Amino acid sequence: MPSAPFITLNQFIVDRQADFPYASGEFSRLLYYLAVAAKIVNRKVNKAGLADIIGEAGSTNVQGEEQKKLDVFANDQFIAACRNSGECCGVASEENQEVITFETELAQRGNYVVLMDPLDGSSNIDVNVSIGTIFSIYRRLSPRGEMAQPGDFLQPGRKQCGAGYVLYGSSTMLVYTTGRGVYGFTLDPSIGEFCLSHSLITTPTEGKIYSVNEGNIGQFSPGVRSYIAYCQTNDKETDRPYSGRYIGSLVADFHRNLMKGGIYMYPPTAKAPNGKLRLLYECNPMAFLAEQAGGLATDGRMSVLDIVPETVHQRTPLFIGSASMVRRVMDMMAQEE
């Protein structure tokens, strides 16, 4: 029997043009450019042990963290993709203190801004563990044809018109949403194309996996500790204890839980009272995907997508994944307050 024909990402974008925001082809073109950058980064990631790409770049980023060579490489590739697409007037990146507003006339005509974590899971690069790229796309508020303005980057997550991630894992996947469901594409390296592999992804309402850096448990609030104790309690009826799974790459942890059902938590700690993860380019895009797949994302009090951002690199606590698990941890936190 002949196998079903591949639907490539590019073909899918063309076929589903009407599903894209404003359906003008501009957004599609931006996504196409991001996918090309993802393939270039993927090529580097796959050769990481051979190419001179492992290790520190010798610089620190905005968070004061050591930049890896691959952080810098991925950042450069995705910024170039945004600039060259002609559809993007500016980029905010984890690796750049200030937002980048493009100066070319071509880029300034672009209708979109991109916010991104070009390489997520940096601590896993050198040890051959899954890493990712996260991106979030907004329509600009400032007039087209001019420089992007700070307000273009500081919109609540609810206003995203697209978001997604690339997972450089046992296979490479690009997963995205434009607000009409979540679609996943797997890179076929033999033809160099992302091919549709997961249509309309939905996440189970209840899962059996909890993901949290338990090394920090002594710094968590009583409510979070109660929820972790709940996950670990024996109970036949609800199939507990749950499994603890924590890779330390948000993209990989999120993707596994999305597919299987589960909850990922990065609660406030004594060291990081607002949590560690960044609202605009880690939490918002994942929250958009989670809600589109039927899950939830909260900072403990409100939906992540409703937070009004004040600064580009601001952090937020994150509880994300299967809806009933997220509701339970919220209830337990509320009870302990």
Minimum distance from residue 275 beta carbon to Mn ion (Å): 12
Binds 284: which of ligand AHG, Mn ion, none (CB < 5-8 Å by kind):
none
Based on the number of CB atoms within 10 Å of its own CB, is 287 exposed (0-12), middle (13-18) or buried (19 or more)?
buried
Between residues 87 and 94, which has the closer beta carbon with respect to ligand AHG?
Answer: 94
Residue nearest to Mn ion (CB): 120
For helices 69-85 and 26-46, give the axis angle rounded to 10 degrees. 160
d(CA 317, CA 273): 8
**Closest Cα partner for 14 from 4, 5, 25, 1?**
25
Minimum distance from residue 117 beta carbon to ligand AHG (Å): 5
Minimum distance from residue 110 beta carbon to Mn ion (Å): 24
Between residues 251 and 325, which has the closer beta carbon with respect to ligand AHG?
Answer: 251
Residue ranges in contact with ligand AHG by CB under 6 A: 94, 117, 120-122, 213, 248-250, 276
Between residues 209 and 250, which has the closer beta carbon with respect to ligand AHG?
Answer: 250
Question: Residue positions in the annotated binding site for substrate?
Answer: 120-123, 213, 246, 276
* Cβ–Cβ < 8 Å for 210, 232: no
User: Per residue in 51-84, is it b (16+ CB within 10 Å) or e — as a string?
Assistant: eebeeebeeebeeeeebbbbbbbbbebbbebbbb
Minimum distance from residue 122 beta carbon to ligand AHG (Å): 4
Question: Residue positions in the annotated binding site?
Answer: 94, 117, 119-123, 213, 246, 276, 282
- Paired tokens of 109: 């005509």
H helix count then E strand count, the chain: 9, 15
Binds 172: which of ligand AHG, Mn ion, none (CB < 5-8 Å by kind):
none
**Closest Cα partner for 317 from 278, 286, 288?**
278
Residue ranges in contact with Mn ion by CB under 5 A: 94, 117, 119-120
Minimum distance from residue 213 beta carbon to ligand AHG (Å): 3
